[in-house]
Amino acid sequence: MSEFAKLMAANDWYDVKDSFASISEAQVVSALKKSQQGGELSLDDFKALISPSAGPYLEHMAHLSQRLTQQRFGNTMQLFTPLYLSNMCSNVCTYCGFSMENKIRRTTLTMEQIEQEAQAIKAMGLDHILLVTGESERKVGVAYFEQALGILTKYFSHISMEVQPLKTEEYARLAKLGVESILVYQETYHRQKYAKYHLKGKKSDFDFRLETPERVGQAGINKVGIGCLLGLEDWRTDAFFVAAQLEFLEKKYWKMRYSLSFPRLRPCEGGGEINSPMSQRELVQLICAYRLFNHQVELSLSTRESAVFRDNMLKLGVTTMSAGSKTQPGGYANEDKSLEQFSIDDNRSVAQIASMITDKGYQVVWKDWQTGFTQF
Ligand code: SF4
């Protein structure tokens, strides 16, 4: 059992879940005071800030979150878009349109199609892409990624990946080709319920997934993004374990940078029940709490959320947004919606999102730091 898995085992899921009900307003006020005075927040403080008792303090939290984010990141917003390379998948996940048992059309982009997608994305002005695939070792393994990167690095200076968890040596191969960051979400930290949502395939190995950010760190990749799928299980408890994993990783892999995402479960082919619905207000609370807990972590908000919500969140802690997203392979050159992983809510173009950002007095960052600049 890994070090972090042991730490998790020491915090029983149901004990953590039940503890939220007994958090008092005094604990919330104490965490806010600490934050206001520039102090570092503990995991217990974070817990207080995402508890129901912190609900009435949302405005105060938002104000502090805005201030801290501006101090650390300035008035900037990074933009990126996902590039779906394949919807082949060897896993059965109950909440995902790409699940192996769903009867959808499957495709994997050829190198020629990848080049066409790259050109279409580049024409929108973007320089940062996130490569996304289903998890099919056979069809989209490291050799395929290496070939694709050979093309994509000609077009983009910042490439992130959200693909199946790989071995350390495989991440090292990708790092050599210029991959800057890896995103891997645990979905839920509830070990037993995880098995209920991940019925078949490699993804059903809870521990292999949990240890992935460590393998990314060992391979020398610059940044790792973690998170959970909000709506699967009690969102407060899952968010607590995300914060605990972030704290653990930052201590052990202090050279790495970190990002957090907060995807809420969306409708998709094959259904998927939302067991623990999270309101927009609660999502704001969570984002602000993450910022108060960790001043330097990047917070990324996707087009799963509505345009109005994203516009309102611009100044409240978020540092990165996706824009112009298509969630189907080949979606930028071809509009075929039948291949979508999930439907998105903010359908605006990259240009429209960029102008919303500048209208609000913020600057668009098209290009993130490259590893070369940070490894002196
Ligand atoms: S969540 Fe990922 S692994 Fe699971 S079915 Fe969807 S694409 Fe495959």
Distance (Å, whole) CA 171 – CA 187: 21
Helix (H) or strand (E) holding 221: none
110 three-class SS? coil
CA of 198 to the centre of ligand 1 (A): 9
Ligand 1, atom 5, residue with closest C-alpha: 99
The per-residue pLDDT for range 157-179, each reduced to its tens digit, is 999 999 999 999 999 999 999 99
Best residue among 101, 102, 133, 135 to mutate for probing ligand 1, ranked by most atoms within 8 Å of CB: 135
CA of 147 to the centre of ligand 1 (A): 22
Ligand 1 proximal residues by C-beta, below 6 Å: 89, 91, 93, 96, 98-99, 134-135, 203
Task: Give percent of the chain above pLDDT 90.
Answer: 85
CA of 330 to the centre of ligand 1 (A): 18
Model pLDDT, residue 371: 53
Phi, psi dihedrals of residue 245, rounded to the nearest 5°: -70, -40
- Top-ranked range on mean pLDDT: pick from 93-97, 225-229, 325-329: 225-229
In single-letter form, the type of residue at position 38 comes to G
CA of 287 to the centre of ligand 1 (A): 25
The per-residue pLDDT for range 51-81, each reduced to its tens digit, is 999 999 999 999 999 999 999 999 999 999 9
Segment 226-245 mean pLDDT: 97
User: CA 57: distance to chain centroid?
Assistant: 26
Q: Identify whether the C-beta of residue 183 lies closer than 8 Å to the C-beta of residue 161.
A: yes
Q: With a cut of 90, say whether residue 298 has pLDDT above it.
A: yes
Burial of residue 204, with CB atoms counted within 10 A of its CB: 0-12 exposed, 13-18 middle, 19 or more buried: middle
Best residue among 84, 93, 106 to mutate for probing ligand 1, ranked by most atoms within 8 Å of CB: 93
Helix (H) or strand (E) holding 176: helix 168-176
Ligand 1, atom 2, residue with closest C-alpha: 134
Model pLDDT, residue 273: 72
Domain spans, the chain:
3-33+40-374
The per-residue pLDDT for range 348-367, each reduced to its tens digit, is 999 999 999 999 999 999 97
What's the token pair of residue 268? 């998709």
User: CA 18: distance to chain centroid?
Assistant: 26
Distance (Å, whole) CA 124 – CA 214: 34
Phi, psi dihedrals of residue 154, rounded to the nearest 5°: -75, -25
| Record: fold of 3-33+40-374 | TIM Barrel (3.20.20)
Q: Identify whether the C-beta of residue 186 lies closer than 8 Å to the C-beta of residue 228.
A: yes
Best residue among 99, 206, 339 to mutate for probing ligand 1, ranked by most atoms within 8 Å of CB: 99
Considering Cα of 170, then 256, then 83, then 98, what sign does the dihedral take?
positive
Looking at the CA of residue 87, tell me the nearest atom of ligand 1: 7
Beta strands in the chain (DSSP E): 76-86, 92-93, 128-133, 158-162, 179-183, 198-200, 223-227, 257-261, 298-301, 320-322, 363-365
